[in-house]
Amino acid sequence: MNADKGIDVVDFACAHCGLSWTHEYEVVRCATSSGFERECFSIHDLPVMPPYSWEGAPECARCGHWVVGKLAMRRS
């Protein structure tokens, strides 16, 4: 991968039921229409919201509560 691409390994821990899991997100530096750079996230080439906020938080597979992720590791 080049310097513009990477993988975020994200840890999730549900505060409601205690389930924890890890997921990998592909990260690419993208330019917005106004010319600013931001990170664009995807899973299997499908765009997703960043997992670090409520907007991109996945549901817990056990209880259905939304879980905000925490960066465990970034690989380039």
Q: Is the pLDDT of residue 2 over 50?
A: no
Q: Which structural domain range is residue 48 located in?
A: 5-75
Q: Is the pLDDT of residue 23 over 90?
A: yes
Q: For 42-55, write each residue's pLDDT tens digit.
A: 999 999 999 999 99
Q: Is the pLDDT of residue 1 over 50?
A: no
* Gap between the terminal Cα atoms of the chain: 6
pTM across the whole model:
0.86
> Does residue 24 or residue 36 have the better pLDDT?
24
The 10 Å Cβ neighbour count of residue 69 is 22
Q: Is the pLDDT of residue 35 over 90?
A: no
Q: What total of structural domains would you count in the chain?
A: 1
Distance from C-alpha of 39 to C-alpha of 30, rounded to nearest angstrom:
6
